[in-house]
Amino acid sequence: MSKHSGTLYSEMFDSKRAAPELRTFSECADQVRSSSVDIGPSLIEGRLLQRLRRSIGHLPIRLVLGRREELSPPPDTEAIATVSISDRRTLGKLLLSPEIAFGDGYTDGRIAVEGDLVQLIENFIRLTRAKPEGWWRKIVTGWLQRVQANTLTGSARNIHHHYDLTTDFYRLWLDSRLVYTCGYFPSPSASLEQAQLAKMDYVCRKLQLQPGESVVEAGCGWGALALHMAKNYGVKVKAFNISREQVLVAGELATKEGLSSQVEFIEDDYRNISGQYDVFASVGMLEHVGLENYRDLGQVIHRAIGDSGRGLLHFIGRNRPGTFSPWIRKRIFPGAYTPALREMLDLLEPWNFSVLDVENLRFHYEKTLEHWLTRFEASTDEITKMFGPEFVRAWRLYLAGSIAAFRVGTLQLFQVTFAGPSCRQIPWTRAHLCTEQAPAREELEWTHAMS
Amino acid sequence: MSKHSGTLYSEMFDSKRAAPELRTFSECADQVRSSSVDIGPSLIEGRLLQRLRRSIGHLPIRLVLGRREELSPPPDTEAIATVSISDRRTLGKLLLSPEIAFGDGYTDGRIAVEGDLVQLIENFIRLTRAKPEGWWRKIVTGWLQRVQANTLTGSARNIHHHYDLTTDFYRLWLDSRLVYTCGYFPSPSASLEQAQLAKMDYVCRKLQLQPGESVVEAGCGWGALALHMAKNYGVKVKAFNISREQVLVAGELATKEGLSSQVEFIEDDYRNISGQYDVFASVGMLEHVGLENYRDLGQVIHRAIGDSGRGLLHFIGRNRPGTFSPWIRKRIFPGAYTPALREMLDLLEPWNFSVLDVENLRFHYEKTLEHWLTRFEASTDEITKMFGPEFVRAWRLYLAGSIAAFRVGTLQLFQVTFAGPSCRQIPWTRAHLCTEQAPAREELEWTHAMS
């Protein structure tokens, strides 16, 4: 009995010992169930593991429960990682809600991963994405939607949770300009610095900013894009953000760069945007707005730029509507939701805005996140001093999981350029995106005569 | 009385005679209604005209009913056109169903337009687009949807109506390659020939066709794109079309160009596409599929290219869902519907296809149609000999109305590039669309290693 209870699975998959007909996990688990030998507590564990095995597909991992190795991949398959689960209770939670239990267990140390975390998650997503969503995930998602609703106060609380961590923390692993959104890598070998600069320029070019124009930005982070627009394109920018920490830092940067007369950073919700502008821009904010507020945001955009303005939305999206990772919502980004293009159109359709251009930069976000994770890992000692080891593990998991999601395609990154029905600032082709330097207005051809 | 009945409106708006308080059409019509003088039949006409005036907004036209001028624009406004309506019955129909009655009346000569037809329609759209859709339009649209339903036989009938007119007719006003879809004008001054060639090349580049790959095309017209792909990109193409006339001509062109071994033209419905391909392409066919068949078409695409393929949809769309012009449906394109992006996503979402790129070429279609109309007008004598004067007028109206719709933005032109969730042929950036010549595969950077 003790022989079975301790090393049952590993023995079964030991190529020298295992009967050839018992090579798969489910066969192995069936063997446990049908065994007439009384194997005590490990019978329950066996059943739990069998169910876990089912819920994670054919994931080639080595699974350790307590100090006992409980499941190994078939002998001809190399394990991509060893996942150690400290106790049976954690195992039970994994069955009920794999994503949240894994996230929480990994964070507090009850689950440890030896091996490539990104590859582990990537494989997990690939093997399980076709499965219908579990009832528990639906309940948790519904509950999170209620408690994290993006009302004015709810949004403030949600944004504060993530973005008001000290800027010194973000300085450790973002680029020097503190751009916390997907970069644009002209080549995969470009540096993170180059990619973030290129992204900001790409956005300005897509918007065809002209000197003297006015821009309103919703969700401006530490202000890098607003400052870039003002400095390099001669526009005036009003940038809204409800993260106090970010707005403070952004304001200091504007003063330092002598751009205070051109750029105004305002600590306020996008719903309170007032005034008239030529251009609306929002990079990496739509994910925090919440589906239920898209029509309101559309109205805000129309109020700001009217029928003749133009705009750009840059956001993490999906191929089709679906629920956002409940663990990321619970621990990292409260109130977040990544929309399908169909859902985003709720913003544009009521105002007869025309979609001019959509570009999918999914692989650029995978690359951006790889840079961030590498830099994050290089700073874990400092981050541990700042927030403790649990924080480090949670954020490692968030960054690694995001890489995996973009790599697999669970997440996409859309840049959508749009214009109002009377907009006269529409370039004839995409020639303005092709040159090394941003071309002057006169160098381009336009759909409407120059005004 | 005779004075009133004959030239009532023109006299009222003669600046020398009219009382200053009677300068607007509705004031004028009110005057007719409240007049105590018995003005006989023109009282009814006056009321009809007043209602027409309301339904067309402030359209600055001169309106002639029978031989009498009945309405003029205010003295300080220049009339953009004179619209002559032959009789009261036609006027009544205009009120019930402006679009269909205008189209039919213009076609059979009961309505004549002197002036710029495009500008007239453009102004009409601008002035009336905010109005809710009338009940009669809804009834007609519902009826057309039923009688023109795109079943297998319905589609065959619908396509036959338009595309099986003799090819000699289309030769008179299309480009030499017979491309009957929106061109891509590298510059607005490019010729139609250049634009159609550039469009085909643009499509091939967006799809990143590689020698030896296989392409399935749904709705191939006279085969220009399929032949271009085979000749210039070394791919094999199976092209489906249910227009017998077009397939016959396309087959002859393939033989003539020595491409019969590479390109197969098949007279069959897209629903009967079989086989496995690397790439799906459809240029200007989605408009004929009908909303109710999008999921079926999506399934056909997935069956053809699986999870690893890629594709392009080029179609006339809209900013938001709406009904297609009932007159165009009735007389020109039975069964047609122009979808919003949201509706098109019904094809892609169920199969987890990723939208990679959307480009709006609305102004390129306006330009293409301007070329077509100019060439059409230059051939009206020949076309009249072929099909009679009513046909010429109907097609003039269709081409002019389409120019107006793209100019105003009622219609948009979307090119959507997409890829399956396992596609490995995704270029890193849009660099492949920027060079003069299509770059070789090795010259580009890719999201996945070369296979």
Average pLDDT over residues A87-108: 92
pLDDT higher than 90, residue A429: yes
Is B187's CB within 8 Å of A428's CB?
yes
Decide which of A74, A100, A132 is a domain's last residue: A132
Compute the distance between CA of residue A249 and CA of residue A246 in angstroms, rounded to an integer: 5
Angstrom CA distances, A420 to A280, A351, B40, B437, stand at 11, 8, 49, 34
User: Which range has the worst mean pLDDT, A4-8, A94-98, A388-392, B126-130?
Assistant: A4-8
pLDDT digits (tens, 9 = 90+) for A339-366: 999 999 999 999 999 999 999 999 999 9
Average pLDDT over residues B4-18: 31
CB-based contact B163:B246 (threshold 8 Å): yes
Identify whether A392 is part of a domain.
yes
Q: Average model confidence (pLDDT) for chain B?
A: 88
The answer to whether residues A169 and A92 belong to one domain is no
User: Which range has the worst mean pLDDT, A136-145, A291-300, B40-49, B181-190?
Assistant: B40-49
The confidence band for B355, taking pLDDT boundaries of 50, 70 and 90, is very high
Compute the distance between CA of residue B96 and CA of residue B110 in angstroms, rounded to an integer: 16
Q: State residue B41's pLDDT score.
A: 55
The confidence band for B6, taking pLDDT boundaries of 50, 70 and 90, is very low
Average pLDDT over residues B264-291: 97
Residue of A nearest to B320 (CA): A349
What is the number of residues in chain B? 451
Long-range contacts, A34-42 (Cβ 8 Å, 24+):
A35/A4, A37/A1, A37/A4, A38/A1, A39/A1, A39/A4, A39/A5, A39/A8, A40/A1, A40/A5, A41/A5, A41/A88, A42/A4, A42/A5, A42/A6, A42/A8
Average pLDDT over residues B263-286: 97
Decide which of A132, A162, A195 is a domain's last residue: A132
Q: State residue B450's pLDDT score.
A: 66
> In this structure, what token pair is assigned to residue A182?
């997907």
Q: Is A340 on the interface with B (CB under 8 A)?
A: yes
CB-based contact A211:A277 (threshold 8 Å): no
The answer to whether residues B225 and B163 belong to one domain is yes
User: Which range has the worst mean pLDDT, A7-21, A58-72, A199-213?
Assistant: A7-21
Angstrom CA distances, A99 to A106, A123, B417, stand at 10, 14, 33
pLDDT higher than 70, residue B175: yes
| CATH code for the domain of A171 | 3.40.50.150
pLDDT higher than 60, residue B170: yes
Give the best-scoring range by mean pLDDT among A157-171, B125-139, B379-393. B379-393
Q: Is A143 on the interface with B (CB under 8 A)?
A: no
Number of domains composing chain A: 2
The answer to whether residues A70 and A178 belong to one domain is no
pLDDT digits (tens, 9 = 90+) for B12-45: 223 333 333 333 333 433 433 343 333 445 777 7
Decide which of B66, B97, B132 is a domain's last residue: B132
The answer to whether residues B159 and B120 belong to one domain is no
Is A341's CB within 8 Å of B340's CB?
no
Average pLDDT over residues A107-123: 96
Q: State residue A41's pLDDT score.
A: 54
Q: State residue A84's pLDDT score.
A: 94
pLDDT digits (tens, 9 = 90+) for A230-280: 999 999 999 999 999 999 999 999 999 999 999 999 999 999 999 999 999
pLDDT higher than 80, residue B2: no
Predicted TM-score (pTM) of the model is: 0.89
pLDDT higher than 50, residue B367: yes
CB-based contact A305:A274 (threshold 8 Å): no
pLDDT higher than 90, residue A36: no
Q: State residue B136's pLDDT score.
A: 81
For B240, other C-beta atoms within 10 Å of its C-beta total 24
Compute the distance between CA of residue A355 and CA of residue A371 in angstroms, rounded to an integer: 31
Looking at per-residue confidence, does A2 or A213 come out higher? A213
Q: State residue A24's pLDDT score.
A: 36
Q: Average model confidence (pLDDT) for chain A?
A: 88
The answer to whether residues A187 and A97 belong to one domain is no
| Residues of chain A with C-beta less than 8 angstroms from the C-beta of B320 | 345, 349-350, 352
The answer to whether residues A292 and A262 belong to one domain is yes
pLDDT higher than 90, residue B200: yes
% residues pLDDT > 70 (chain B): 90
Q: State residue B255's pLDDT score.
A: 98
Looking at per-residue confidence, does A415 or A50 come out higher? A415
The answer to whether residues B111 and B251 belong to one domain is no
Identify whether B140 is part of a domain.
no
Task: Give the gap in angstroms from C-alpha A45 to the nearest C-alpha of chain B.
Answer: 36
User: Which range has the worst mean pLDDT, A32-46, B254-268, B276-290, B312-326?
Assistant: A32-46
The answer to whether residues B218 and B296 belong to one domain is yes
SS3 state at B245: helix
The answer to whether residues B58 and B182 belong to one domain is no
> In this structure, what token pair is assigned to residue A355?
């979609």
Evaluated on CA atoms B433, B435, B437, B443, the torsion sign reads negative
Please name the amino acid found at residue A175. Answer: D
Q: Is A130 on the interface with B (CB under 8 A)?
A: no
| Residues of chain B with C-beta less than 8 angstroms from the C-beta of A445 | 187-188
The answer to whether residues A101 and A156 belong to one domain is no
Strands A310-317 and A263-267 come out as unpaired
Q: Pick the closest to residue A155 from A321, A315, A271 (CA basis).
A: A271
The confidence band for A451, taking pLDDT boundaries of 50, 70 and 90, is low
Angstrom CA distances, B251 to B224, B231, B279, stand at 11, 15, 21
Phi, psi of A129 (to 5 degrees): -70, -20
Identify whether A187 is part of a domain.
yes
| CATH code for the domain of A9 | 3.30.1050
> In this structure, what token pair is assigned to residue A248?
């403070």
Identify whether B145 is part of a domain.
no
Identify whether B329 is part of a domain.
yes
Output DSSP code: residue B325: P
Average pLDDT over residues A20-27: 36
| Residues of chain B with C-beta less than 8 angstroms from the C-beta of A353 | 319
Strands B279-283 and B214-218 come out as parallel
The answer to whether residues A128 and A216 belong to one domain is no
Domain that holds residue B16: 2-132
Identify whether B144 is part of a domain.
no
Angle value at C-alpha B143, between B142 and B144, nearest 5 degrees = 90
Is B319's CB within 8 Å of A409's CB?
no
CB-based contact A281:A216 (threshold 8 Å): yes
% residues pLDDT > 90 (chain B): 67
Residue of B nearest to A418 (CA): B360
**Number of cross-chain residue pairs from A and B with Cβ atoms under 8 Å apart:** 99
Average pLDDT over residues A357-381: 98
